[in-house]
Amino acid sequence: MARNLWGWGEVEAADRLEDSRARAEAFFGPLEVEEAAAPRVPAPRVEVPPPLRDFSSAEPRVRAAHALGKSYVDRVRGLRGDFSSAPDLVAFPRDEADLAAVFEAAQAQRLSVIPFGGGSSVVGGVEPRLGPAHRGAVTVDLSRLSRVLEVDEVSRVARIQAGVFGPELERQLAPHGLTLRHFPQSFEYSTLGGWLATRAGGHFATVYTHIDELTESLRLVTPRGVVQTPRVPAHGAGPDANRLALGSEGTLGFITEAWMRVRPRPVFRGAASVHFADFSRAVDATRAIAQSGLFPANCRLLDEKEALLNGVAGDGSSVLVLGFESADASVAPLLDCAVALAEAHGGTCPRGKTLRDDASKARSGDAGDSWRASFLRGPYLQDAMIRLGVVADTFETACTWKAFPTLYAEVMQAVRDALERGCGGGLVTCRFTHVYPDGPAPYFTFLGRGKRGGEAEQWAELKRAASDALAKHGGTITHHHAVGRVHRPWYDRERPALFGEALTAVKRAWDPSGLLNPGVLIDAR
């Protein structure tokens, strides 16, 4: 199957327009469908350097496929055929020697070097840009580094190359009876290296929320050489080197492989959907569970609009979707305890609890399942909205429990106001994707009617309103979508100024010529 050049996933899988159209038109009235324009790709500014010819391509379609990420604005640009940001060549290194050759050629030819995993960045993290001294850009696609190299079944860790996509990674772990169980929404079209470089958020609502917590050690190839962090489960020997590479977004080097914590597939599962008439009591219940030490695998609170939009509840209830899983023992006592805490805060469990003691059994029709299906459809739905002329996007944050009620009210209001101003109205919803003892990670979705040709400005206004409100009310600019270029204005204010200087100092030490991903995360200055 062919990848969709401008939108999500495979072309064939993307063809789900009519479904989405009916739902969008029910809200917005009749909508027109836009067809994708033929891609316009500029001529390369530089030739492929001879040392890279064996593993590089300058074909227009390949360059177009590496021109953009998958943000709302990226997709609008792609739909209209604008691939003006295409790199001059795309290298597909087979090993670290090829990477070294890329650095050498880039240095000699004055090219910026753009690390590329699955290209699912929604923050402009993979769009090729040039630094002041650059004549062109080489995108480095790591997809040939796609193997599980080694499995330590005793310690339950696996050495995995960074360019592997989610499903292929799981396919290679399966014969060992193991799974990484990191399922971001981009799972099918993003890579381990991308998850590590952007501190991706995954399956687990507690404890192992970011890929960080699943990382034992990693290997970062910088222009100055290799950083191989020690393979130990934990240490107290100075600041943690892993934590400097995690979230470095391709500005300090390429993560080429990592020892990742894996686990057997869960055998015992338990789930329940707890309904609340009052969102603020639902928040209190979720907080009680987050602070209980019960560590649910799933603890996703949907506000009433989110529950409605996802078909989880249609009566104005907020719904807390709880899930526990274990390979060792029934999770019934944990689920009972979590549900009891939720009920003590006014929740009800109209469909009861679901318990399974065998992973191979067919799934029941629990809300958790309809959630999962809708979750992976999300990015395709956004494509459909874009073709229908609807401005549709998500943004996310994390804040303390104390800050949340005001942040929620003010962010919702700010986005509603911005939708009113820019789109003549629209919809905004909220759910929690992850929870911590000290606060939730709220995730917002908004929809508004677009003006053909004016969507980028409409979106920018909505993004600005949302991000300003987050910053004002104690939210981070991102819990797991990374910084890239899109979040820079807010990140630069959130980040302690001296920490910015520290990152720049490290960048100078490891990438002294400023080859890597100019403008993302930090300035090379």
User: CA 52 to CA 58: how far, in whole Å?
Assistant: 11
Distance of closest approach, residue 230 Cβ to a second copy, in angstroms = 5
Q: Which is nearer to a second copy, 103 or 436 (CB)?
A: 436
Q: Which is nearer to a second copy, 157 or 312 (CB)?
A: 157
User: CA 320 to CA 307: how far, in whole Å?
Assistant: 9
Q: Which is nearer to a second copy, 67 or 220 (CB)?
A: 220
Q: Which is nearer to a second copy, 355 or 403 (CB)?
A: 403
User: CA 395 to CA 156: how far, in whole Å?
Assistant: 34
Q: Identify the H or E element spanning 413.
A: helix 404-423
Q: Which is nearer to a second copy, 14 or 483 (CB)?
A: 483
Distance of closest approach, residue 238 Cβ to a second copy, in angstroms = 5
Say if residues 357 and 271 touch (Cβ distance below 8 Å).
no
Question: Looking at residue 209, what DSSP letter applies?
Answer: -
Distance of closest approach, residue 405 Cβ to a second copy, in angstroms = 9
Distance of closest approach, residue 396 Cβ to a second copy, in angstroms = 9
Distance of closest approach, residue 19 Cβ to a second copy, in angstroms = 31
Question: Looking at residue 51, what DSSP letter applies?
Answer: G
Q: Which is nearer to a second copy, 58 or 123 (CB)?
A: 123
Give the chain's radius of gyration (CA, Å). 23
Distance of closest approach, residue 172 Cβ to a second copy, in angstroms = 19
Q: How far is CA 233 from CA 71, 260, 328, 476, 495, in A?
A: 35, 10, 22, 29, 28
Say if residues 31 and 392 touch (Cβ distance below 8 Å).
no
Q: Which is nearer to a second copy, 370 or 476 (CB)?
A: 476
Q: Which is nearer to a second copy, 5 or 471 (CB)?
A: 471
User: CA 476 to CA 107: how far, in whole Å?
Assistant: 36
User: CA 157 to CA 180: how far, in whole Å?
Assistant: 9
Cα 519 versus chain centre, distance: 20
The token pair at 447 is 């929809």
- SS3 track for 329-392: CCCHHHHHHHHHHHHHCCCECCCCEEEECCCCCCCCCCHHHHHHHHHHHHHHHHHHHHHCCEEE
Distance of closest approach, residue 474 Cβ to a second copy, in angstroms = 7
Taking phi first (over 0 means left), then psi (-120 to 50 degrees means alpha), and beta for anything else, what does residue 175 get? alpha
Taking the CA of residue 345 as centre, how many other CA atoms within 13 Å lie in the half-sphere pointing to its CB?
A: 23
Distance of closest approach, residue 333 Cβ to a second copy, in angstroms = 4
Distance of closest approach, residue 138 Cβ to a second copy, in angstroms = 22
Distance of closest approach, residue 33 Cβ to a second copy, in angstroms = 35
Angle between helices 367-387 and 17-28 (to 10 degrees): 80
Q: Which is nearer to a second copy, 380 or 510 (CB)?
A: 510
Distance of closest approach, residue 180 Cβ to a second copy, in angstroms = 12
Find the largest Cα–Cα distance for the chain.
Answer: 69
Distance of closest approach, residue 366 Cβ to a second copy, in angstroms = 20
User: CA 302 to CA 435: how far, in whole Å?
Assistant: 13
The token pair at 516 is 């890597």
Q: Which is nearer to a second copy, 59 or 150 (CB)?
A: 150
Distance of closest approach, residue 327 Cβ to a second copy, in angstroms = 8
Q: Which is nearer to a second copy, 369 or 438 (CB)?
A: 438
The token pair at 456 is 């980028």
Q: Which is nearer to a second copy, 161 or 198 (CB)?
A: 198
Q: Which is nearer to a second copy, 363 or 402 (CB)?
A: 402
Beta-bridged to residue 268, according to DSSP, are: 326
Q: Mind giving me the DSSP string for 144-202?
A: T---EEEEETTTTEEEEETT-BHHHHHHHHGGGTEE-----TTGGG-BHHHHHHHT-B-
